[in-house]
Structure 1
């Protein structure tokens, strides 16, 4: 596990529910479980603070790192994309994003494409992107001033479901993702019986972090299409159900273990 990702997962899964702050000693002990050296933890947290992701304070010789507005927003946004799924009540209206790429620097184009993909838009052709969900507000909030002005949004609908499927097939290649979802189910569904037998706190934490690290890459590739637009045999929603059940089953043991380490480092 990459140390930076591990930090955000620990804050997103645990420290945010403990006030949003953690002492360096607790962070070091927890990240040590995953093979991260104390010196690396110090370097990573110093860099994240300098990059504006955390605020820090000092009590005696002990440093604490606290979530700020920037990191709270990132965690809230990420949690919504991972845990929220739309019910199949699609009104058959598309959100179309039109990107003005005239004289657009390469780095800005890359930022816009990353943001559009993050919020579930797929490129139809050229500068035209589509999503079956109205995420204009979230996308605009994620873009800085000049970038936001480069994207215009339309709400539109086709003449029928066959045309909707043409758009979906053109914008989203779900074949590889579907295979990955089946692999995720095969990996984690058999573990549920063991998870229900309440593994030790340390084991529950390790398993839960592995689960989150493995699953979180899927929602950012998945546009969360309505049932009527999904390919036959789609297992994405089954995979999400397995993830949520595993995540909830391990919650109590993992949270208790983290709380013990936090208390020990007070």
Structure 2
């Protein structure tokens, strides 16, 4: 059948059992031709020439940026390097947590994403990118290399941050609050809500605490630290929740007592990049 789908470096086999009916049987025996699974007499789809793909998309394109934004881009790239380090430090623990009610690959996925993002951010800075472009380019690299739902989520969140912050000037505290709000909405668009035992359970309290402190006149570093504390508390609080989204939802009560790895990794990241 050709290559089979794998889950990063996970050893062993994945076995799926289901009740077979006439419709499912017809679909199961139908010919298929995909990059990871082939059977029967399916006719391979016409391949698109690489030049056509390159003409349609330029995810790492760098546009004009102000001096202030380019200076901030250096700090953003340093932040991605810090994220890479903290994820490397906690990758095994994140995988252990995820193995309780999932595939056990959250640590590996976050490592692949953060490494790709850090490299892409550094390259973008060398090419003169502004802060918004660095975030966008790094998000695209994270999504491309991490795989899985968390990769897509972090890619969307970083793209939203970059889109709002832009490349024109150094953002104010209010600008950062707006950008974090846009990133939060991008994550919520995937369907999870607070209480589902996902990254959202740490992300939303972080956004709310950051907005509240900035609105009250706090300096951004102080507001960010308060928001980090809220995210950390919320991440630990996910241990008491029943999972309602993702693979963990099928484990129900078995997952109670264990924190959500996505919420924990989010809290680690926002602490690592604190201004």
| TM-score in same-fold range (> 0.5) | no
Point out the structure with the larger helix share. Answer: 2
Higher relative contact order (CA 8 A, sep 6+): 1
TM-score class normalised by the smaller sequence: under 0.3
State the TM-score, normalizing by the size of structure 1.
0.21
State the TM-score, normalizing by the size of structure 2.
0.21
Point out the structure with the larger strand share. Answer: 1
